[in-house]
Amino acid sequence: MAIRLAENNYGKSRVRLLRVTRQPDHHEIKEVTLSIRFEGDFEAAHTAGDNSKILPTDTMKNTVYALAKQYPAEPVEEFALHLAEHFLTYNPQVARVQIDVLEHPWQRIPMNGQPHRSAFLRGSNERRTASVSSARGTVAVRAGIEDLAVLKTTDSAFVGFRRDPYTTLKEASERILSTTIHATWLYLGAEIAYGPAWHNVRKMLLETFAQHESLSLQHTLYAMGEAVLNSFDEISEIHISLPNKHYLLVDLKPFGMDNLHEVFLPTDEPHGLIEATLKKS
């Protein structure tokens, strides 16, 4: 019996960056957290402690700052592409570079109804993501959304489901539907306007969630994915993951009251989890 090193990678996580672009009449900022991973020929480091092919993860971090000086970090997909190309150029021992970016959104403080030129507030918990996986000759660019919490108070039902001896759930023809949207999609080709594309996909996901006559969270997930694939030629697949954040109707009968879908208990656990990938074929 021999032992072999199968998949392996290494990198740097949680590299944080604020990039300020100072225009004469206003400043622009971009705050991101990056992680970088290398796959390649690292066997000797593992088996013999030979580090000669190991670029330090400290250098990966330095490179983020050095390239942030030279490029505007906007849009994040382009910045990730620059990073991946740099690493592949300088490191022949590396077969694949993966760059993951989380963007933390800032928006301008309103000042007498106008956006302030240099002061900002943190917009939301929601984060834009970008992910570049670059091997020599092939590049895959994904964009995404994390932690976009949504809720609708009507147009959601769950009936006609399968029952077994431990099923106690009642059918609901009207219920609160709430989830946190996690989605990533894969771009086709290289000539993408990443900024507008991201905003348009986000708009389509939100509007579909809002308008859909939902028969289940699976049903709504599929509608959201289908709407995106039907609307964007430059997107070939989309993965969506939706926790079902249950809002429980509180039983007010012990207090002599009817609860006409007015008083709910929000819960975090347990929660349902629905995941699917839709592809063009």
Q: Can you read off the two tokens belonging to residue 123?
A: 């917009």
The interface with a copy of itself within residues 85-104 (CB under 8 A) comprises: 90-91, 93
* Among 68, 76, 141, 145, interactor with a copy of itself by CB under 8 A: 68
Closest CB 53 distance from a copy of itself, rounded Å: 6
Q: Which is nearer to a copy of itself, 139 or 215 (CB)?
A: 215
Q: Cβ of residue 138: shortest distance to a copy of itself, in angstroms?
A: 20
Site map (CB under 8 A) of a copy of itself, residues 12-41, x = contact = xxxxxxxxxxx----x-x-x---x-x----
Check if 12 is active-site. yes
Q: Does 114 bind a copy of itself (CB under 8 A)?
A: no
Which residue pairs, CB below 8 angstroms and at least 24 apart, start in 47-55? 47/5, 53/93, 54/10, 55/87, 55/91, 55/94
Token pair 């599929």 is found at 222
- Judge if the upstream peptide bond of residue 75 is cis by omega within 30 degrees of 0: yes
Which span sits near a copy of itself by CB under 8 A: 75-83, 122-130, 131-139, 182-190? 122-130
What are the beta bridge partners of residue 215? none
Residue from 41, 119, 196, 199 binding a copy of itself (CB under 8 A): 119
Is 57 annotated in the active site?
yes
DSSP 169: P
Q: What are phi and psi of 2, to 5 degrees?
A: -110, 160
Q: Please measure the distance between the N-terminal and C-terminal CA atoms of the chain and give it in whole angstroms.
A: 43
Query: Which of the residues 129 through 168 are near a copy of itself (CB under 8 A)?
Result: 148-155, 158-168
- The answer to whether 263 and 252 are in contact (CB under 8 A) is yes
Give the interface segment with a copy of itself, choosing from 50-58, 75-83, 137-145, 189-197 (CB under 8 A): 50-58
CB of 156 to a copy of itself, least distance (A): 10
CA–CA distance, 278 with 281 (Å, rounded to integer): 10
CB of residue 133 to a copy of itself, shortest distance in Å: 15
